[in-house]
């Protein structure tokens, strides 16, 4: 008995909870109608009661009394009879008015419930369409849109907002898919090469020690390439998550260390590195910051020209540490900059250009700057090459004593064109000496001399 | 069998080509889509091994263009993308087969041979004429049960003549099918190879010379 009872109740509850907005809209509509109708009719009823006062000879004005007496005399009845007739007629009229009002209110209320239900259904129909379409959209058909037609109202706004969300999701899914496709291409090609090389060596009809040696060397080179690629991918993954470590670092120290590591490479390519390393304290993950500077320097060197130059500056402007790297090199179109920040995109042709670069350098830089809330600006230079600037978030809590002299110098004249000064020159001691002379001539370089970069 | 290998990774392309040539296939190499389409305009390839991720003209576009041009070449797509959608999409573009990197050469060669078999009239897996038997998959030819010591080119010529089903095959045709573009078209290589092949096949002679430079088995 109890089970059948509960069985009967569930569908009612389900219906109610499923159509709750429609139900509520109807209820609100009908009750508002009922209240305002009742109010209106009550006011009307009271108005009629006021206009038709109960006949009472004691409270009657002399003029009314005289008129009633004349009227009663003309009809040959007493005043009392007339008044009692009037009273009966008034009571009847008021009673009828009340009864009809109530009936009318009841009828109209029912009508308002029906109309409210219909209106709510109609108003909520687009919402139902939105729900159904959204329910059917998954990762596979993210290109579908609601495209709600009709008046420019809130529901259309909702549908437009959902469409925008879908567009963003679609873009992000696409870039994810592209990344996976590119990563699998980049990872599988060297694997395929290695396998092909080894198989070719094993099936060689007349193998010689030299041919085996060549194969081993080539397989080893490919294996090293894979190691670099995996490390870069791991670095990208690491730099995309929140920072593990947050330590105070001086960009100048870091940059000087990185430049030391790149000296040989620069020398080989006859590229002159000039550095002005003023203290630039930041807080962040030292490994990531080092990777950031390393990637940018590597980039500046590998996409350069013979006898080109790389200019590296670290400084603090308005308590923000700034790293800037400017290099000569081939022309880069401004339109290509955002593409270069995508993984596996390389300078020049598309990603299948095998020039030895992994195509991950700038993606990693981008991820690291994002993780440190730093701002990355990349501009192509007019005569070729890139000008890259990384502005770190303001270092509020940092002790002024440490950076005092350097930053005050900048604050006086923030747009001062900084005189080029050596710190590390790629080419030779001669260049270094020449630059030192230039730096002495160009003004106070106490900050640089004190900077650990020169130690 | 004449094969065009389209692969943008030069080292990989050269390695694959070396191994395929060792198997007796005539292999030309193209390093991008544009070059591939230029090559297919000049030579008639039996099989095109096409990398999908090509610079310049994308591999998909190469495949589409080949189909539009009514090319008879069979296309084997070679790619790193191995998701189900990628494979379905690749085959949907008109590719005849799909192989993902990294691959084993044995499989690549078997697939090249398999899709090539589909191009002409149905061929038995082992070709035979009289007491001569040739297994293209194992690269073994025997006569009266004795294995013949044939070079890859000799084997390829013999295979081509056997698949011609008694049709006369001209020296030019042999040159176009069995040798790659590196060969000088005015060479006597065909004649020399046929002479050596005849010597190895022994008696009674199988390869017949038809007037005006044609051969027949």
Instruction: Note the pLDDT tens digit of each residue in A335-377.
Output: 888 888 888 877 665 444 445 677 888 888 998 998 888 999 9
The Cα–Cα gap between A305 and A145 comes to 49
Counted domains in chain B = 2
Partner-chain residue, chosen from A193, A205, A349, that has the shortest CB–CB distance to B15: A193
Q: How confident is the model at residue B179 (pLDDT cuts 50, 70, 90)?
A: confident
φ, ψ of residue A227 to 5 degrees: the values are -60, -45
CATH number, domain at A445? Answer: 3.30.565.10
Distance from CA of A191 to the nearest CA of B (A): 6
- A216 inside 8 A of chain B by CB: no
Same domain, B105 and B135: no
Counted domains in chain A = 3
* pLDDT at B161 (0 to 100): 86
**Boundary-marking domain end, from A232, A266, A291:** A232
- A211 inside 8 A of chain B by CB: no
CATH number, domain at A192? Answer: 1.10.287.130
Q: Are B197 and B208 in contact (CB under 8 A)?
A: no
Same domain, B32 and B100: yes
Q: Are B153 and B141 in contact (CB under 8 A)?
A: no
Same domain, B211 and B150: yes
Same domain, B109 and B31: yes
Indicate the SS3 state at residue A6: helix
Q: Provide the domain limits for residue B139.
A: 127-216
The per-residue pLDDT for range B137-151, each reduced to its tens digit, is 788 888 888 888 888
In chain B the first and final C-alpha atoms are separated, in Å, by 18
Q: Are B53 and A349 in contact (CB under 8 A)?
A: no
**Boundary-marking domain end, from A209, A232, A255:** A232
CATH number, domain at B20? Answer: 3.40.50.2300
- B22 inside 8 A of chain A by CB: yes
- A141 inside 8 A of chain B by CB: no
* pLDDT at A21 (0 to 100): 84
* pLDDT at A435 (0 to 100): 40
Partner-chain residue, chosen from B11, B53, B105, that has the shortest CB–CB distance to A185: B53
Q: What are the C-alpha distances in Å from A35 to residues A98, A116, A252? A: 16, 15, 76
Whole-angstrom Cα Rg for chain A: 43
Interface test with A, best of B6, B25, B101 (most A CBs within 10 A): B101
- A39 inside 8 A of chain B by CB: no
Q: Are A388 and A324 in contact (CB under 8 A)?
A: yes
The Cα–Cα gap between B151 and B159 comes to 12
Please identify among residues 113-142 of chain B the ones whose CB lies closer than 8 Å to any CB of chain A.
none
The closest alpha carbon to B170, from B149, B151, B152, B190, belongs to B190
Indicate the SS3 state at residue A224: helix
* pLDDT at B198 (0 to 100): 86
Residue of chain B whose Cα is closest to the Cα of A197: B15
* pLDDT at B4 (0 to 100): 94
Same domain, B26 and B110: yes
Same domain, A255 and A375: yes
* pLDDT at B29 (0 to 100): 93
CB-CB neighbours of A232 under 10 Å: 20
Interface test with B, best of A190, A194, A199, A351 (most B CBs within 10 A): A199
**Boundary-marking domain end, from B70, B95, B117:** B117
Q: Are A363 and A341 in contact (CB under 8 A)?
A: yes
Residues in chain A predicted with pLDDT less than 50, given as ranges, are 1-16, 350-354, 398-455
% chain B with pLDDT above 90: 18
Same domain, B26 and B95: yes
CA A284 from centroid of its chain's CA atoms: 23
**Boundary-marking domain end, from A68, A101, A136:** A136
The per-residue pLDDT for range A163-212, each reduced to its tens digit, is 898 888 888 888 888 888 888 888 888 899 999 999 999 888 888 999 89
Same domain, A224 and A264: no
Same domain, B40 and B13: yes
Indicate the SS3 state at residue A322: strand
Neighboring chain A residues of B12 at a CB cutoff of 8 Å: 189, 192-193, 196
* pLDDT at A442 (0 to 100): 38
**Boundary-marking domain end, from B97, B117, B137:** B117
Same domain, B105 and B8: yes
The Cα–Cα gap between A83 and A80 comes to 5
Asked if B55's CB is within 8 angstroms of A349's CB, the reply is: yes
A362 domain-assigned: yes
Same domain, B112 and B136: no
Asked if A196's CB is within 8 angstroms of B16's CB, the reply is: yes
Same domain, A161 and A118: no
Asked if A192's CB is within 8 angstroms of B19's CB, the reply is: no
Same domain, B86 and B176: no
The closest alpha carbon to A359, from A178, A223, A171, belongs to A178
Q: Provide the domain limits for residue A264.
A: 246-411+418-454
* Chain mean pLDDT for chain B: 85
> Tokens for A109?
């209320």
A180 domain-assigned: yes
Contacts of B8 (CB under 8 A, 6+ apart): A352, A354, B31, B32, B51, B53, B54, B55
Distance from CA of A166 to the nearest CA of B (A): 21
* pLDDT at B149 (0 to 100): 86
**Boundary-marking domain end, from B92, B117, B142:** B117
Beta-carbon contacts below 8 Å between A and B: 67
A147 domain-assigned: no
The per-residue pLDDT for range B69-122, each reduced to its tens digit, is 888 889 999 888 777 888 888 888 888 999 988 899 989 999 998 888 876 666
CB-CB neighbours of A435 under 10 Å: 19
The Cα–Cα gap between B40 and B38 comes to 6
In chain A the first and final C-alpha atoms are separated, in Å, by 92
B122 domain-assigned: no
């Amino acid at each position: 008995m109890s089970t059948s009872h509960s069985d009967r109740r569930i569908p009612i509850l389900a219906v109610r909870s499923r159509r709750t907005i429609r139900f509520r809209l109807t209820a609100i509509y009908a009750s508002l109608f009922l209240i305002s109708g009742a109010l209106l009719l009550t006011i009307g009823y009271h108005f009629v009661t006021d206009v038709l006062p109960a006949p009472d000879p004691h409270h009657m004005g002399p003029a009314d009394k005289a008129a009633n007496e004349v009227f009663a005399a003309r009809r040959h009845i007493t005043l009392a009879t007339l008044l009692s007739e009037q009273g009966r007629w008034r009571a009847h009229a008021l009673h009828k008015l009340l009864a009809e009002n109530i009936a009318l209110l009841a009828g109209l209320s029912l009508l308002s419930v029906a109309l409210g239900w219909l209106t709510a259904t109609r108003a909520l129909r687009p919402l139902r369409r939105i729900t159904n379409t959204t329910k059917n959209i998954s990762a596979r058909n993210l290109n579908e849109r609601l495209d709600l037609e009709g008046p420019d109202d809130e529901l259309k706004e909702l549908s437009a907002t959902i469409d925008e969300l879908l567009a963003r999701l679609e873009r992000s899914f696409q870039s994810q898919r592209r990344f996976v496709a590119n990563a699998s291409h980049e990872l599988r090609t060297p694997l395929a090469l290695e396998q092909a090389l080894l198989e070719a060596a094993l099936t060689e009809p007349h193998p010689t020690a030299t041919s085996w040696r060549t194969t081993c060397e080539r397989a080893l080179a490919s294996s090293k390439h894979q190691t670099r690629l995996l490390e870069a991918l791991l670095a990208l993954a690491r730099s995309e998550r929140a920072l593990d470590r947050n330590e105070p670092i001086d960009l100048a120290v870091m940059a000087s260390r990185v430049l030391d590591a790149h000296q040989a490479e620069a020398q080989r390519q006859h590229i002159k590195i000039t550095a002005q390393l003023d203290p630039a304290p930041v807080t962040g993950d030292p490994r990531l910051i080092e990777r950031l500077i390393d990637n940018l320097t590597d980039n500046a060197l590998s996409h350069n020209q013979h006898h080109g130059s790389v200019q590296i500056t670290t400084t603090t402007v308005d308590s923000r540490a700034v790293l800037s790297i400017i290099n000569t090199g081939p022309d880069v179109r401004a339109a290509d900059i955002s593409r270069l920040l995508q993984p596996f995109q390389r300078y020049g042709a598309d990603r299948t250009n095998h020039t030895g670069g992994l195509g991950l350098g700038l993606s990693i830089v981008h991820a690291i700057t994002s993780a440190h809330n730093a701002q990355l600006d990349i501009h192509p230079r007019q005569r070729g090459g890139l000008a890259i600037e990384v502005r770190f978030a303001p270092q509020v809590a940092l002790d002024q004593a440490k950076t005092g002299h350097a930053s005050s110098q900048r604050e006086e004249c923030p747009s001062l064109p900084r005189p080029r000064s050596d710190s590390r020159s790629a080419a030779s001691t001669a260049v270094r000496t020449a630059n030192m002379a230039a730096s002495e001539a160009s003004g106070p370089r106490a900050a640089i001399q004190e900077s650990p970069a020169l130690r | 069998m004449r094969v065009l290998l389209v692969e943008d990774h030069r080292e990989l392309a050269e390695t694959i080509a070396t191994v395929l040539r060792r198997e007796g296939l005539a292999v030309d190499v193209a390093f991008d889509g544009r070059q591939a389409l230029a090559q297919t305009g000049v030579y008639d390839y039996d099989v095109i091994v096409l990398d999908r991720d090509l610079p310049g003209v994308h591999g998909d576009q190469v495949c589409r263009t080949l189909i539009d041009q009514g090319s008879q070449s069979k296309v084997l797509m070679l790619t790193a993308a191995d998701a189900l959608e990628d494979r379905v999409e690749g085959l949907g573009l008109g590719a005849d087969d799909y192989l993902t990197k990294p691959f084993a050469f044995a499989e690549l060669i078997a697939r090249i041979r398999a899709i090539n078999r589909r191009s002409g009239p149905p061929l038995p897996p082992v070709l035979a004429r009289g007491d001569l038997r040739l297994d293209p998959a194992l690269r073994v030819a025997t006569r009266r049960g004795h294995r013949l010591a044939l070079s890859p080119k000799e084997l390829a010529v013999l295979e081509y003549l056997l698949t011609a089903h008694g049709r006369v095959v001209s020296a030019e045709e042999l040159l176009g099918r069995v040798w790659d573009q590196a060969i000088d078209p005015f060479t006597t290589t065909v004649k020399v190879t046929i002479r050596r092949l005849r010597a190895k096949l022994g008696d009674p002679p199988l390869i017949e010379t038809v007037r005006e430079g044609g051969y027949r088995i």
